[in-house]
Amino acid sequence: MVGKTARDHFRDNFRQGGFVNGGLHRWKDVKRRDPDSKWYGFEYKAEKRTSYKFKRDPKTGRTRKADKQKQLNFSPTATRRPVLLSKRLELMRSITSRPGRGWVAITTDKPYAGVQNHGGIIKVFGKHPVKLPARPFIGASRELENEVTRLVRKELDRVFKQ
């Protein structure tokens, strides 16, 4: 009961686009939604450039690569997708609860979850280091604490009234 409530609360953070703790704290926007960024509309599809467009210079008659080339791995839907949500909602769906005696653990099995939650440095495609801002989705939350307290009291009242 408490685990499901906590899991649902943290999954709801993804739908709201921020962390709820004393109100909604929105996450920093991603570069794939910024038209001025080179990552605008990026969605990894493992595309490789097989050919280039060429242009003939009218003055010299020489052929050269055209300035405008097809943008690889571009997806118009990626420009509209919420901050931490992928197509398959992998990180959100990976949040699970594990009950114990007197405690509940909320976990995720995704290796990148910690970096997304706390921020840190990653390597893009294993090469270029990039600093990710913290976008917390699991953590202490006043709203969740109040909801769990309410649930426990309600359940205790039900048990003692019998």
Q: For residue 48, what pLDDT is reported? A: 64
H helix runs in 71-136, sequence order: 90-93, 113-118
Q: Does the predicted model carry a pTM greater than 0.85? A: no
Distance, C-alpha 5 to centroid of its chain = 21
Please write the tens of the pLDDT for every residue from 5-17: 999 999 999 999 8
Both tokens assigned to 136: 């917390």
- The whole-angstrom separation of Cα 71 and Cα 39 is 10
Segment of 2-6, 28-32, 62-66 carrying the highest mean pLDDT: 2-6
> What value, to the nearest 5°, has the Cα angle with vertex 88 and ends 144 and 84?
50
Please write the tens of the pLDDT for every residue from 87-121: 678 999 999 999 999 899 999 999 989 999 999 99
Averaged confidence pLDDT in the chain: 84
Instruction: Give the pLDDT band (50/70/90) at residue 27.
Output: confident
